[in-house]
């Protein structure tokens, strides 16, 4: 990885600093004043989060372009089976190779420290200085270092580890002044003994004496005169492992410390091969693969039998298959073929068939499986795999619905193996063979014939036979496709037709696979199901979760356009625009997202100014952009311009159901409210769309007819739940806000209690509770909610989170803090309602001592205005249907 100096210079150059500023930074780096150099960058107006994000982006790019075959000690560390691994690196390389739980300091709480010795936390990795997957956790500046090392949580964590475990420091010089101070303080509490690896050039007598006598750290010294750092460290780690198995004294006090040379034995190789198979069975694919590669480059590989060599090559084929690295699969298949033992060909042909199956080269796959069947003609797994391959080769791709004749062929094939209850006819087969047969039949049903419900039943049977993560992954995909099967409208998905129960099961499967996978296998999981998982979150409108998971998934998809567009839409739904994302969109989509943002912010004049000249030049090719323009004219009450451009719109675009809305707009603008009302009602009855009902609600709101608004809401909540179900969280939230605006507090509270279970979006639920609690004088738990919003702002930079914090402080008489956070929200662009601003200023002056004494009118203002961003949206047909 790049050293500190290189990294800081790279970050400085990204922000186009002047020549003089860069020279000053380089001088500081030359003197190893790295933190001062970073402060010099910050002094140019670049905030901490931007620098953290730049560090993350650079290291991610560096990892992509770095030679992955470079020698390192990560696998050696893994083979030590240490209880805990603590790293100060951001790069996540250790996590890439070691498939285990990964924590940052912010993930660690008192509960973790109390349970630290529990075996469920064995083999965990703790990134003390943050990691690139969470840029906001990266410790890079002097301010962030001081904040980390002076925090009570860090001190408690360090003490817990130092008192309970023996440290072995590798690649960490202990020269860090912050760390030295911490070691000094903790020394007074314990005299634990720890160790550090140093090369001969680093291990001066002065340093050895200081480490031993000041920090209780003994030196293990190695020479690199005839070898590399990596190889020397590897020998020491192997020696330590050997000593654990057969205890003997290791002299660590002398510079002339000798290294025990471990001779490779056949027993050692057998043990290693068994370990690799265990890694494969636990889906520790990266670990298994690294061990295979180490074994291949070891001179002891030559003493393996032909069968063992074949197993190594085919094991690597298996691993590369999971990682979707098909060129590597092919290379090791060819090496396996060079071992001329005819009885081995069965295994080779089977792996070849899997290789060609993954490439969708059906004829070659069939040829390979036929060759394997010649060796084992009664193997049911080969026969069902052959039938799957033949079905794949006989259907046309791509298609969404199987033809009647194809479905008949499917049923004939299916019932060769199972009865109508999906029970296997073959009873005298092993559990593994049963599982594989169900897996292949599940893929036959889902992948080939789109019979997703059958696929789900078959794969559930397979999963119950072995809790296989690969099967669970496939199961999640078929739940996902079953959920959206009836919802497709060309390239869009109609929320109203999504099967939400299936969608939730898909999410459960995906998240369980992701939670249980690590390292290289997790990367392959993201490659295979990452897009569907993010799409699922988008359909569910879980935008905060989508934004967070996008950062984990995106690196494995590169510049795939659909992913970038999904992120832009997600940002739009969260009320923000990321220029870095917008610049990667094509001009048309960029304009659509921008206009959608201004539309939601009710900045209609900007929309009119930006789109009018484009429309006049006849350069708009997207119907939705024209609709944005008409919407803006309507909501600004520009009736003459609306009539003029609506006429042009009708000349250029074919009329559909949604365009009837603009006929109604025209009637409303002309003052013909009776016909407009009739038009809205008829359109609602015709389309039964939540967005059209929204237009009717807004019409009654504009006409100041709240009794009709409440009647419509009640009807939708009690008699037409199927219409609101796809977006229940938002619907019930908006209705409760309406009731509060009408000062019908009792009904609002009752309604929330009755329908809380239907509000599945936890962020919406939290916002509603923040709104309702002040109305019933419940001021409990507000500090926890403030911390939750602080975390949302730190992770997603959402301005409204600062506003929510200000309101929580205001409702709890923390008036100075309220003003501080309302000011912060305003600085980052969140518009603060003047009533809220006035209330905070008044109360700050009065310093009210008890929430019960807060003027009732001000309390109502705060509650009513607090969730104004949740009031019904103006018409936005980019969501009809939702992409």
> Tens digits of per-residue pLDDT, 841-869?
776 665 444 444 444 444 444 444 443 33
Read off the pLDDT of residues 657-686 as tens digits, 9 standing for 90 and up: 667 889 999 999 999 999 999 999 998 888
Q: Can you tell me the distance from the alpha carbon of 90 to that of 102, in angstroms, rounded to the nearest whole number?
A: 12
Cβ of 126: how many Cβ atoms within 10 Å? 20
103 beta partners: 126
Reply yes or no on whether the pLDDT at 493 is more than 70. no
Q: Which residues contact 603 (CB under 8 A, 6 or more apart)?
A: none
CB 635 within 8 A of CB 876: no
Tokens of 538: 């988008």
Any idea what DSSP says for residue 657?
A: G
Strand partners, 199: 222
Could you tell me which of 790, 861, 800 has the C-alpha nearest to residue 825? Answer: 800
Q: Which residue has the tokens 């580890």?
A: 161
Long-range pairs for 418-426: beta carbons < 8 A, 24 or more residues apart: 418/458, 422/454, 422/457, 422/458, 422/461, 426/380
Q: Which residues pair with 745 in a beta bridge?
A: none
User: What is the distance of C-alpha 441 from the center of its chain?
Assistant: 31
Distance CA 46, CA 219 (A): 41
CA atoms within 13 A on the CB side of 579: 0
pLDDT in tens, 14-62: 777 788 888 888 888 888 788 888 888 888 778 787 788 888 877 877 7
pLDDT in the model for residue 100: 66
**161-171: pLDDT as tens digits:** 777 788 888 88
Q: CA dist 88 to 138, 141, 412, 641, 864, Å? A: 10, 14, 59, 62, 47
Average pLDDT, the chain: 79
Cα distance between residue 820 and residue 802, in whole Å: 9
pLDDT of res. 783 = 80
Between CA 481 and CA 476 the distance in angstroms is 9
**Mind listing the pLDDT tens digit for each residue in 50-98?**
788 888 877 877 776 666 567 787 777 877 777 788 888 887 777 776 6
- Interval 142-163: pLDDT, tens: 888 888 877 777 777 777 777 7
- What is the per-residue pLDDT for 760? 67
In the predicted structure, residue 749 carries a pLDDT above the cut 70: yes
* pTM over 0.75, yes/no: no
Task: Identify any residues that bridge with 637 across adjacent strands, giving them in sequence order.
Answer: none
Beta carbons of 135 and 53 less than 8 angstroms apart: yes
**What average pLDDT does the segment 374-394 reach?**
89
């Amino acid at each position: 990885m790049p050293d500190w100096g290189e990294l800081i210079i790279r970050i400085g150059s990204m922000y186009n600093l002047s020549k003089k500023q860069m020279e000053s930074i380089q001088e500081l780096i030359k003197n190893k004043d790295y933190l001062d150099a970073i402060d010099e960058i910050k002094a140019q107006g670049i905030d901490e989060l931007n620098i953290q994000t730049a560090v993350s982006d650079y290291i991610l790019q560096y990892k992509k372009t770095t030679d992955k075959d470079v020698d390192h000690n990560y696998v050696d560390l893994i083979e030590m089976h240490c209880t805990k691994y603590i790293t100060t690196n951001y790069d996540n390389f250790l996590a890439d190779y070691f498939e285990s739980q990964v924590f940052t300091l912010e993930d660690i709480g008192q509960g973790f420290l109390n349970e630290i010795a529990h075996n469920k936390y064995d083999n965990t990795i703790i990134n003390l200085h943050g990691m690139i997957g969470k840029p906001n956790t990266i410790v890079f500046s002097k301010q962030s270092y001081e904040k980390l090392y002076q925090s009570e949580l860090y001190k408690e964590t360090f003490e817990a580890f130092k008192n309970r475990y023996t440290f072995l420091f590798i690649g960490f010089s202990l020269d860090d002044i912050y760390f030295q101070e911490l070691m000094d303080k903790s020394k007074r509490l314990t005299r634990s003994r720890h160790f550090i690896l140093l090369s001969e050039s680093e291990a001066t007598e002065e340093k050895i004496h200081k480490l031993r006598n000041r920090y209780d750290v003994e030196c293990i010294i190695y020479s690199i005169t005839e070898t590399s750092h990596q190889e020397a460290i590897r020998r020491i780690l192997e020696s330590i492992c050997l000593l654990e198995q057969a205890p003997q004294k290791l002299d660590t006090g002398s510079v002339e410390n000798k290294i025990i040379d471990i001779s490779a034995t056949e027993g050692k190789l057998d043990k290693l091969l068994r370990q690799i198979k265990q890694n494969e069975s636990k889906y520790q694919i990266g670990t298994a693969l690294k061990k295979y590669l180490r074994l291949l480059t070891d001179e002891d590989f030559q003493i393996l039998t032909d069968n063992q060599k074949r197993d190594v090559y085919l094991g690597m084929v298996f691993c590369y298959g999971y990682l979707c690295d098909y060129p590597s699969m092919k290379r090791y298949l060819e090496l396996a073929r060079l071992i001329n033992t005819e009885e081995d060909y069965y295994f080779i042909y089977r792996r070849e068939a899997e290789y060609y199956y993954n490439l969708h080269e059906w004829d070659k796959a069939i040829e390979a499986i036929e060759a394997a069947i010649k060796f084992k003609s009664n193997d049911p797994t080969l026969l069902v795999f052959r039938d799957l391959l033949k079905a794949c080769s006989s259907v046309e791709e791509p298609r969404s619905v199987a033809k009647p004749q194809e479905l008949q062929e499917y049923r004939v094939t299916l019932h060769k193996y199972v009865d109508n209850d999906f029970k296997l006819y073959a009873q005298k087969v092993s559990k593994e063979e049963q599982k594989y047969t169900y897996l292949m039949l599940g893929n036959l049903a889902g992948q080939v014939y789109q019979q997703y419900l059958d696929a789900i039943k078959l794969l559930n049977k397979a999963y119950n036979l072995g809790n296989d993560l690969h099967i669970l992954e496939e199961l999640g995909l078929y739940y996902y496709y079953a959920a959206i099967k009836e919802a497709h409208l060309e390239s869009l998905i109609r929320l109203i037709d999504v099967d939400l129960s299936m969608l939730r099961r898909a999410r459960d499967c995906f998240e369980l696979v992701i939670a249980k996978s690590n390292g290289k296998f997790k990367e392959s999981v993201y490659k295979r199901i990452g897009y569907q998982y993010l799409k699922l979150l988008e359909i569910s409108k879980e935008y905060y979760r989508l934004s967070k998971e996008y950062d984990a998934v995106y690196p494995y998809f590169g510049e795939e356009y659909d992913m970038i567009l999904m992120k832009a839409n997600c940002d739009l739904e969260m009320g923000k625009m990321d220029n870095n994302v917008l610049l990667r969109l094509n001009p048309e989509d960029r304009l659509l997202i921008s206009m959608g943002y201004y539309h939601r912010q009710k900045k209609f004049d900007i929309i009119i100014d930006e789109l009018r000249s484009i429309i006049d030049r006849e350069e708009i090719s997207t119907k939705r952009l024209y609709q944005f323009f008409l919407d803006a004219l309507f909501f600004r009450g520009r009736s003459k311009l609306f009539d003029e451009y609506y006429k042009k719109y009708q000349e250029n675009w074919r009329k559909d159901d949604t365009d009837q809305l603009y006929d109604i707009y025209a009637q409303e603008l002309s003052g013909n409210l009776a016909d407009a009302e009739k038009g809205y009602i008829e359109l609602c009855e015709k389309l039964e769309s939540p967005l059209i009902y929204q237009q009717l609600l807004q019409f009654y709101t504009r006409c100041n007819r709240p009794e009709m608004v409440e009647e419509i809401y009640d009807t939708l909540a009690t008699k037409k739940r199927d219409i609101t179900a796809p977006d229940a969280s938002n619907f019930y939230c908006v209705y409760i806000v309406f009731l509060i605006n009408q000062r019908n507090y009792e009904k609002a509270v009752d309604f929330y209690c009755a329908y809380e279970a239907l509000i599945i979006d936890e962020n919406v639920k939290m916002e509603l509770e923040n709104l309702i609690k002040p109305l019933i004088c419940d001021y409990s738990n507000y500090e926890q909610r403030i911390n939750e919003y602080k975390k949302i702002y730190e992770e997603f930079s959402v301005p409204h989170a600062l506003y929510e914090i200000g309101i929580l402080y205001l409702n709890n008489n923390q008036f100075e803090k309220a003003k501080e956070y309302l000011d912060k929200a305003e600085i980052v662009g969140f518009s603060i309602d003047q009533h809220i601003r006035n209330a905070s200023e008044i109360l700050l002056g009065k310093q009210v001592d008890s929430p019960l004494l807060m003027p009732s009118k001000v309390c109502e203002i705060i509650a009513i205005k607090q969730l104004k961003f949740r009031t019904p949206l103006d018409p936005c047909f980019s969501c009809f249907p939702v992409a």
